[in-house]
Each structure stands twice: as structure tokens, then as C-alpha cells.
Amino acid sequence: MSRKYKRAPKFNSHLDTVSTVRGSGWVRRRRLGAKRDPSATADGTDCVQVGGEVIMRGTKFMRQRVQTRMFVALLVVMTFVAGPLSALGQKTSPVAPTRAQAEAAVKEAYEKFKNDTNGKNADYIPVLAQVDSKLFGIAIVTTDNQVLTMGDINFSFSIQSISKVFSQALAMEELGPDKVFEKVGSEPTGRAFNSVFAVADMPTHTGNPYVNAGAIATVSLISGKTADEKWNKILDFYGRVAGEKLKLIDEVYKSEAATNTGNKALSMLLAKYDRIYADPFESVDVYTKQCSVGVNVAQLARMGATLANNGKNPATGEQVIKPENIPHILSTMIMAGLYDGSGGWAWHVGLPAKSGVGGGIVAVVPGKGAIAVFAPPLDEAGNSVKAQKVIEYVANRLDLNVFSPRSVGLKGE
């Protein structure tokens, strides 16, 4: 069997492995047990037993009359009780695509882009240059915790800049959004993510939480007596957003820690402008660790799904992020999630998203779910080439663009 054949894509449904699924969904139906009483007689007299209680007995004729009445009663119940109740219980978006539509779109995108060789692995962090450029995985996690995956879904890659979203969220949990906005801000820089010029030029100096300077400042806001305490708090928080414990990829951390003179320079510049709120180099170190957290593509999609689900993890049911913080996070993602590629992304795709130089991108579809793609080769701005193409394709096929009225079910003529 050739290696290629062995690695052939497989659509995996994890529905039955997810034991913590809550609420309604495409696959969750419960039948009310109505069963025949074993004491039924030959002349057609029998009974129907619901929940252990015999509610009907008689001849075939009587049975029909009672059945008609029951039918009418059921209609009344359905109209006045079941309708409003099921609307209350509905947890999925009424305009979410069906599972079959999502599966078809993901399969098509996978086939269309799997042989795309554009872009290049990041190499300024030496160990990232060694990651297999052909790795390619896609995952969708919905707000009712359905999981669709395809391709290389077990590979654990470094989360890199995608971490910045979740440290921003943690800082807001601790300090509230107003403080974070005041101390870091949320303006696009129009420059590369590690730009020194942006720090010098911008009135706030920090730009936003997703460029390196703003991200290091954000980390410096997170409370903790020691750097270790901050780091452990960050790692634990990311794990709660993902719904499972995450780990540091030590070799990525060491590789970046040995080469991150640029980020140290940024931290010193922030200190010059009083825009860093803890020890600068210590903050860079915690930041470097947070970028080295390993995730696979399904874990990343679930982190996005937590944002889509108003801060509540769809697998564990834990409210990890306050709902009122979600719009601040998603607006930052649309404005700066793909750095100086964010304007083009908003134009073409229209989904809040975040990229990392490890090759991951996660895009959030509010109220519906998230799609994550992992493929290491990057474009000039540092965004995965294949991940952008896949998400754009799937978003178009499924009408997900948040700026399009079609995304909420309003179709044109």
C-alpha cells in the first residue's frame, strides 16, 4: 500500500465519541416510549402504556375515537406548548448549514487545494522551517459540538499568534474590556505583525492585541505574583477554551526563545512609552511560551466554537469567557486577525479570524461554529496560504460571510 494511499483523507465523525454533547442538535432526538401492553387480547381490546401507566383500553372502534381525540389534543399541545418550548430549547442557529452541506463543502475544498504548493514555512523561528509543508488538516466544530474533520488532524502544531486572541480574552476576564482597550487599544497598524515602526508611529504605541507589541503588553496585564503563575494561568485558560488540557511544545519554545531579539526590542520600546505593565523581558518570555502551546486542528476549531457560542465551551458547557466580551474579541479579529492582510480578508471572506505563523487559521461564525485549517506554508503577511483558500471557499459555499444578509437567511431575488 503506497504512503499516499494510506494517508488518503477520511471524513471522521466524532459525534459518538463526544460524551459531553449537550442540548439539541442535528442528531439528538429522543423518542417518548409508547409501547404495547403484553396483555392485549385477540378481539382487538388492548391498551397503550405510557411511562408505565395504562391510559387506554377497549375495542378497535373505541380505540379509533380515543386516538382521534388524542391526535387533536396532541395538536393543541404542539401548537401552544411544544412550539414555544422547542424555540426556547433551540441552541443551533436556524440558518446554520446542515451537516451534509458542511461535509460537502469541506471535501470539495480539501480536494481543490490539497496540491497547492504556494507559500513557505516560517523560518525566523528555526524549528518551524522543519515542519512538513504538506501537512493539511481541516476541522469544523459547531456550537452544538458537532465535529467534522479531514486530513492531518492529529498533528499538534504551535498555536503562535492565534494565542493572542485568548490572552486578550483572559485579560478582559480579569480587568474588563474598558481597561484592556485603554491599556492596549484596538487599531489596525497596517504594518507587519512584528513592526518596530508601528510602535513608534502609532499614538497608542501598542496598536492592538494581535500585533506582537500589543500582545506582549496584553500579557503584561495578566495578574500573577510570578511569571510562572501567569504562564500557568494562561495555559489553564486556553485549555478551558479548548475543552481539554493543552501542552507546551518545548522545542518550539526553545527555538523561539533563542532567537526572539526582535520581540525583546519591542518590549523595551513599549517601556520607553510606558505601555508595558510588568517586567518587559519576563512578559516576552511568557508571551513566547503562550505562542508555543500545541494544538491540533480540531482543538483549534473548538476554541473558535467557544467564541461562536458566546464564550461557552460547546463540549464542556463551561462559560469560559463572559458573553459581553465576545463582540470586542470578534471585532478585533475582523480588524487585525490576519495582520496587514486583514482588509483583504474582510473584503473577500467576511469572517472574524486569526492566523499564526505555525500555519493555523481559525475563523468564527457567530452563533454557528468555527472552522480551523492547518497548513504550514505562509504568504508574505504570515498567513497560511491553503488555510485562507479553504476558509474562503467553505464560507462562500455555505453563505457564512457575516456582512452578507444571506448569512442570516435573507436571500436576494
Task: Point out which residues bind ligand GLN (CB under 6 A).
Answer: 160-161, 193-194, 212, 256, 263, 291, 356-357, 382
User: Which residue has the closest beta carbon to ligand GLN?
Assistant: 161
Q: At its nearest, how many Å lie between ligand GLN and the CB of residue 118? A: 18
Burial of 126 from C-beta contacts in 10 A (0-12 / 13-18 / 19+): middle
Sheet of 293-295, strand order: 157-158, 293-295, 247-248
Q: At its nearest, how many Å lie between ligand GLN and the CB of residue 161? A: 3
Q: At its nearest, how many Å lie between ligand GLN and the CB of residue 187? A: 18
Helices 227-242 and 163-175 pack at an angle, to 10 degrees, of 110
Quick one: 304 or 382, whose CB is closer to ligand GLN? Answer: 382
Quick one: 105 or 216, whose CB is closer to ligand GLN? Answer: 216
Sheet of 360-365, strand order: 12-13, 147-151, 137-142, 369-374, 360-365, 353-355
Quick one: 18 or 257, whose CB is closer to ligand GLN? Answer: 257
Distance of CA 3 to the CA centre of its chain: 31
Q: At its nearest, how many Å lie between ligand GLN and the CB of residue 363? A: 16
Residues 6+ apart with CB under 8 A from 206: 183, 184, 185, 199, 213, 214, 217, 270, 275
Q: At its nearest, how many Å lie between ligand GLN and the CB of residue 308? A: 22
Quick one: 161 or 189, whose CB is closer to ligand GLN? Answer: 161
Q: At its nearest, how many Å lie between ligand GLN and the CB of residue 194? A: 5
Identify which of 283, 295, 259, 280 has the alpha carbon closest to the alpha carbon of residue 374. Answer: 295
Quick one: 194 or 306, whose CB is closer to ligand GLN? Answer: 194
CA separation for the pair 270, 373 (Å, rounded): 33
Q: Quick check: helix, strand or coil at residue 134?
A: coil
Q: At its nearest, how many Å lie between ligand GLN and the CB of residue 378? A: 9
Quick one: 155 or 193, whose CB is closer to ligand GLN? Answer: 193
Quick one: 15 or 129, whose CB is closer to ligand GLN? Answer: 129
Identify which of 110, 101, 102 has the alpha carbon closest to the alpha carbon of residue 150. Answer: 110
User: How many angstroms separate the Cα of 188 from the Cα of each of 54, 243, 404?
Assistant: 68, 31, 23
CA separation for the pair 347, 344 (Å, rounded): 5
Quick one: 304 or 366, whose CB is closer to ligand GLN? Answer: 304
Half-sphere exposure of 108 (CA within 13 A, CB side): 14
Q: At its nearest, how many Å lie between ligand GLN and the CB of residue 258? A: 13
Which H helix or E strand runs over 329?
helix 326-336
Q: At its nearest, how many Å lie between ligand GLN and the CB of residue 398? A: 27
Quick one: 164 or 312, whose CB is closer to ligand GLN? Answer: 164
Contact predicate 167/218, CB 8 Å: yes
